[in-house]
Amino acid sequence: MTRTVVVLGAGPAGLPVAHCLLRRTAKQHPDLRIILVSPHDAFYWKFASVRFVLPGQMGEDKYMFPLADYFASYSSKTFELVIGAAETLDPERNAVGVRVGEELREIEYHTLVVATGSRARDGMPWKEVGTTAQTRAALIKLQTAIRDARSIVVAGAGVTGVEFAGELGSAYAKAGLKDVTLVGTEALPLETRTKDDVRKVTKHELEKLGVKYIGGAKVTTGAKDDKKGKTVVTLTRSDGSTETLTADLVVPTFGVVPNTAFAPEVMRDGPLGYMKQDANLRAPGYENGERIFKSSCPLLS
């Protein structure tokens, strides 16, 4: 009898899981069939998004790779790529509902791998934004806004914010073409778990690129001032005091939202709704929970 493994998500975690199962496990278990579900038909090399959101920096062929090409060598008996997003999960019936165009296709599984990761806030294309076409549209929108802005505020000084500010500095601020300001909640950029000397060097290197760093503050509002066409940004410090600055463009780089809305609430945890998982990355509390796995990005493990 065929055992179907459904992998939800073709990011840095889901893609290698599907490949590994096809290359290694399927040889010993010819009854396995792998179904990879992805809302987009191209693998998105998000690690470089901080650079390619700048207009004219990289061609799409350097960061979007057609998924079908990677699986062309596998027969349709052992592999299927479904372009669609999971919308429902019924762990009692071992079934997921995947939106494919107008249709909600039900796919039954023997084992489910949840590798749906997270997305950036406000539709920012640091990571995929839905389908390939939606991601492309979000990229063009941001690239155009960056091209047209004379002053840019980068909100959030984590790794993405620092790398993005560095790219902006290198391309524009160093040459005096645009004003670039990075706003972070800490006195120094990057997170507190990063060594202080690394954070100091980061700040110094950004300043060498012409990036101004404002620490100890959060971007709390950004309202368009219609008369000047600029955004008035309010910065709030930890003591509650505020200050404002104006910019043509404010780009949020902070926080991610887990892509778990398809899972029943009982399988989700915490205010953001991450998938619940035990020490073996399995879904706890279900009769068949031993066959639902949460996959993490292997690059980090």
Ligand X SMILES: Cc1cc2nc3c(=O)[nH]c(=O)nc-3n(C[C@H](O)[C@H](O)[C@H](O)COP(=O)(O)OP(=O)(O)OC[C@H]3O[C@@H](n4cnc5c(N)ncnc54)[C@H](O)[C@@H]3O)c2cc1C
Candidate residues 71, 109, 254, 262; the one interacting with ligand X per rule CB under 6 A: 262
Q: Coil, helix or strand for 175?
A: coil
Determine the Cα–Cα distance for residues 105 and 98; give it in Å rounded to an integer.
Answer: 5
Q: Per CB under 6 A, does 109 bind ligand X?
A: no
Binding mask 46-65 for ligand X (x = CB under 6 A): xx-xx---------------
Half-sphere exposure of 264 (CA within 13 A, CB side): 14
Q: Which is nearer to ligand X, 20 or 297 (by Cβ)?
A: 297
Candidate residues 6, 14, 169, 233; the one interacting with ligand X per rule CB under 6 A: 14
Q: Per CB under 6 A, does 279 bind ligand X?
A: no
Q: Per CB under 6 A, does 118 bind ligand X?
A: yes
Q: Which is nearer to ligand X, 91 or 230 (by Cβ)?
A: 91
Length of the chain: 301
Q: Which residues contact 104 (CB under 8 A, 6 or more apart)?
A: 87, 88, 97, 98
Determine the Cα–Cα distance for residues 147 and 166; give it in Å rounded to an integer.
Answer: 16
Residue nearest to ligand X (CB): 117
Determine the Cα–Cα distance for residues 297 and 274; give it in Å rounded to an integer.
Answer: 15
Candidate residues 111, 231, 259, 277; the one interacting with ligand X per rule CB under 6 A: 259
Question: Tokens 């998924």 identify what position?
Answer: 67
- Please state whether beta strands 211-214 and 268-269 pair in parallel, antiparallel, or not at all (unpaired): unpaired
Q: Per CB under 6 A, does 34 bind ligand X?
A: no
**Any idea of the CA torsion for 234, 235, 238, 241, to the nearest 10 degrees?**
-60
Q: Per CB under 6 A, does 132 bind ligand X?
A: no
Candidate residues 6, 9, 168, 292; the one interacting with ligand X per rule CB under 6 A: 9
- Write out the binding residues for ligand X, residues 172-201 only, by CB under 6 A: none
Determine the Cα–Cα distance for residues 67 and 117; give it in Å rounded to an integer.
Answer: 17
Q: Which is nearer to ligand X, 52 or 213 (by Cβ)?
A: 52
Q: Which residues bind ligand X (CB under 6 A)?
A: 8-14, 37-40, 46-47, 49-50, 85-86, 115-118, 126-128, 160, 259, 262, 296-297, 299-300
